[in-house]
Amino acid sequence: MMEPWLQSKGLNDADQVLAYFAVSKLGEPPVDGKTDTNPEGLTAAYGKWASAIATRLHAGGLSCKVLDKEAFQK
């Protein structure tokens, strides 16, 4: 759904993150988006800064896969 909008703004190559975690309330630790089907977690990033984003999320105890654009879009 976002592809047409990103293209209309000239952001075809913008880095993206699909975040699957939640914070229930202020001060609570985040809950990661790990499931029985995807025990490695669902959060993913791609682009120039994907590794930096993943490093920050990992430091906070959250999962994040670094993917290329094609794998991310699937």
Q: What is the DSSP string of 18-66?
A: E--EE--STTSPPEE---SS-TT-S-EEESTTHHHHHHHHHHTT---EE
pLDDT band at 73 (very low <50, low <70, confident <90, very high): confident
Q: pLDDT for 35-71, tens place per residue?
A: 899 999 999 999 999 999 999 999 999 999 999 999 9
CA distances from 16 to 1, 6, 9, 64 (A): 13, 11, 15, 12
Q: 27: left (phi > 0), else alpha (psi -120 to 50), else beta?
A: left
Domain ranges, ordered by start, for the chain:
15-73
Q: pLDDT for 14-33, tens place per residue?
A: 999 999 999 999 999 999 98
pLDDT band at 12 (very low <50, low <70, confident <90, very high): confident
